[in-house]
Amino acid sequence: MAEAGDFNSADEVLRLEGIGKSYNLGLPTEAEVLHGIDLALTRGDFAALVGPSGSGKSTLLNLIGLLDRPTRGRIQLLGEPTAEMSDAELTARRATTIGFVFQFHHLIPAFTALENVLMPHMLRRGRPNPKASAWARQLLTDVGLAAQIDRYPDQLSGGQQQRVAIARALAARPALLLADEPTGNLDTVTADGVFELLRRFNRTFGCAVLVVTHDPRLSARCDRVIELVDGRIVRDERHAAADN
C-alpha cells in the first residue's frame, strides 16, 4: 500500500497544487492572475506553455522558477515543498535545480561567454575548478560556439548569445529547464537551431523542459502542450512530436 509521501512518483520534477497568485493584495486594484493551477512535470518532459498575452504565462513561470511565491497553493520541487523555505534556501534551489533561458539572452556584458556559463557555478562555489571549466567548455562546444568561448556578449550575434544563455542554464545540470520565449527575438532559422538545442539537451540529460512560446510552429514540435487562458489551464495534452 503506498503511503501519502509516495504520492509523487520518483520521476516527478515539479508539482503544483491549487496555485493562485494575486497582485496588489488588499488594495482596490487587487487582481488575481492565476486561479487554482494544478500541474506536474516529470523527468524527460518537453512541454510548451502557450496562451494569449496576459494569460499569466510569465507569472506561472516565475512561480515555477521560485523567483516569486504563490498567494495560494503548494509547489513541490523534486518532492520537497517550497512554501516553508527561506529566501536563501530558494536561492540555493534555483542555483542547483533550475536553469533559466530568457527571451532576451540576459548575459552579463562584463564577462566572456565562458565566464557567463561558469557564473552559476562561481556564485555558489567561488573560483571554478578545472572540472567545472571543462564542463562549461564542453557545453559551449555542444551549442556550436567552440570558437567564441572567450568573446564578450556584444561580440556575438543574437542567436549565439541565446545559445550561450542555454549553455549557462544547463551548466548546473538542472532537473528543470525553464525557457521564456527563448526564440522570441530570433529569425526562424536561428530559432529552429536554438529549439533543436533545447530538444537535444532534453534527450541527453533527461531534464524536464518547459518552454513558454507564442510560436505555434514550435509548440507543435513539443511532446506536450499546456494552454493557459485567463489564469486557468484550458488544455493539457500530450502528442508525439511532429519532427521526430
Footprint on this chain of other proteins (rule: CB under 8 A) = 58, 62, 65, 67-68, 87-88, 91-92, 94-96, 100, 102, 106, 108-111, 119-120, 122-124, 126-127, 168, 172
Query: Considering the complex, what minimum distance in angstroms separates the CB of residue 118 from other proteins?
Result: 10
Q: DSSP per residue over the chain, as a string? A: ---GGGGS-TTEEEEEEEEEEEESTTSTT-EEEEEEEEEEEETT-EEEEE--TTSSHHHHHHHHTTSS--SEEEEEETTEE-TT--HHHHHHHHHHHEEEE-SS----TTS-HHHHHHHHHHHHHSSPPHHHHHHHHHHHHHTT-GGGTT--GGGS-HHHHHHHHHHHHHTT--SEEEEESTTTTS-HHHHHHHHHHHHHHHHHH--EEEEE-S-HHHHHTSSEEEEEETTEEEEEEE---TT-
Residue with Cβ nearer other proteins (26 or 126)? 126
Query: Considering the complex, what minimum distance in angstroms separates the CB of residue 91 from other proteins?
Result: 5
Residue with Cβ nearer other proteins (31 or 67)? 67
Query: Considering the complex, what minimum distance in angstroms separates the CB of residue 89 from other proteins?
Result: 11
Residue with Cβ nearer other proteins (128 or 224)? 128
Residue with Cβ nearer other proteins (51 or 225)? 51
Query: Considering the complex, what minimum distance in angstroms separates the CB of residue 115 from other proteins?
Result: 8
Residue with Cβ nearer other proteins (76 or 116)? 116
Query: Considering the complex, what minimum distance in angstroms separates the CB of residue 96 from other proteins?
Result: 8
